[in-house]
Homo-oligomer: A and B are copies of this chain.
Amino acid sequence: MTDALVVGAGFSGLAAALSLVRAGRRVRVLEARDRVGGRALTRWLDDGTQLDLGAQWIGPGQDRVNALVRRYALGTFPSPAYGGSTVIWDGARRDAAPEPTARVVELLDGYAARLDPAAPWTAPEAVRWDRITLGGWLAATAPDPVTARYLGRLLAGGLLATSADEVSVLQMAFYLRSGGGSGALLRMAGGAQQDRIVGGPAALAEAMAAALGPDVVRLAAPVVAIEQDRAAVVVYTDAERFDAAAVVVAVPPTLAGRIRYAPALPALRDGLTQRMPMGSAFKVHAVYPEPFWRADGRSGVATCSDGPVVETVDNSTPTSSRGVLTAFSYGVEANALRAMTPPARRAALLDALTVIVGPAARHAEEVIEYDWSADPWTRGCFCGALTPGSWRQYGPWLRPAVGRIHWAGTETATRWTGYLDGAIEAGERAAAEVLGRLPTGAP
């Protein structure tokens, strides 16, 4: 019998396990996939160009993930910063969004400043903010429909990987607050997209798993059931059972809700996981012989009010001469791409990229995509978000343990929720809960 079990070897589960192991506890991590790292996955082109197919960035203020990168002596490199950004505004190329967009975002940042990220439902305006979708609010608040569309895609899309009509103003404000405001969240240099990790976040996950020691992480072991009583918790995979004093469930809420629990979880905890769908993103890397857009003085960073692509970044690496332009679609646009055949999708994406960086975009050497919504062990990205009207009723059930079951995952973080850093915060918090319940004394 181990002291504690952890379900999921993403960053949250690995961080929880590290905290427990460091406190001298016997731990086992059960992971459904044949790899660690959760929503992070890295692939390499033949010349060594690093493609991060899922999570990829870290930035200032993300103290926990930066500390781990230092601890495991992983290298980082900055996101490219050449030339000016591009805005596709109602079909036309511009250097920046019209000034009124900033004023609308300021309003949202103001809402964010007035709520407690640990309990957003306690804000005096919480009921009102949770009853209006971001899309509805933008339609009423933005000076024109293009601004509303642009900001819905930038904020609900770029931050939550969903459509503005699917999230409430409260959910959006909570997310902005958790990441320190729109400036910190949206900026490349100085913001959440500042740096990448050599080897990708996957390298960090592997270093964390290695630090746990041998035989701690069990791969290809999807958890199907969790039973608990006054004495212990029992976790079942298809083939095995594991006993412990406590378990940390560190998978997305919608997947946590699919495990069978005995006794059944309380109605409101189950109601929470029924109302926290994952975002829906399509992230595609278009690979070129060189980052040709730089010759035109363009950074490759673009945001678009229309079209299948919501935003792009230059994702080229310093050690390769190749150019990688990475395109993101979210929500309605991502789902439209998903419904296409692969050739039609490739054509639609490359068409959109020509609008952004010119006709050379059509001549990609490779177009590489990975669909996290189709992956049964993640079922979407970047993260889960509560549906409109749900925060007050179900939000209070996000973090509190249910008996011997403790909840982690980036969705349960109060700072940098949705990010690697939030995943680590959540794992460490859940581990502290578990340590608080374990008998003290020499392990």
Contact B371 A267 (CB under 8 A): yes
Say yes or no for A119: interface residue by CB 8 A criterion: no
Main secondary structure of the interface of A (DSSP, over half): mixed
Contacting residues, chain B, for A339 (C-beta < 8 A): 268
Say yes or no for A346: interface residue by CB 8 A criterion: no
Pairs A–B under 8 Å by Cβ, sample size 26: A131-B139, A132-B132, A132-B133, A132-B136, A135-B389, A163-B389, A166-B388, A166-B389, A166-B390, A167-B389, A224-B224, A254-B274, A260-B376, A261-B376, A267-B373, A270-B373, A270-B379, A271-B379, A274-B277, A274-B278, A274-B379, A275-B387, A277-B387, A335-B393, A335-B394, A388-B389
Query: A274 to B258, alpha carbons, bound, how many Å?
Result: 10
Say yes or no for A343: interface residue by CB 8 A criterion: no
Q: Which residue of B lies closest to A262 (CB)?
A: B376
Q: Which residue of B lies closest to A156 (CB)?
A: B389
The residues in A between 202 and 229 inclusive whose CB is less than 8 angstroms from any CB of B are 222, 224
Q: How far apart are A345's CB and chain B's nearest CB, in angstroms? A: 13
Query: Which of B166, B267, B389 touches A165 (beta carbons < 8 Å)?
Result: B389
Contact A130 B165 (CB under 8 A): yes
Say yes or no for A374: interface residue by CB 8 A criterion: yes
Contacting residues, chain B, for A380 (C-beta < 8 A): 267, 271, 274
Q: How far apart are A320's CB and chain B's nearest CB, in angstroms? A: 31
Q: How far apart are A373's CB and chain B's nearest CB, in angstroms? A: 4
Contacting residues, chain B, for A268 (C-beta < 8 A): 335, 338-339, 373
Query: A393 to B280, alpha carbons, bound, how many Å?
Result: 11
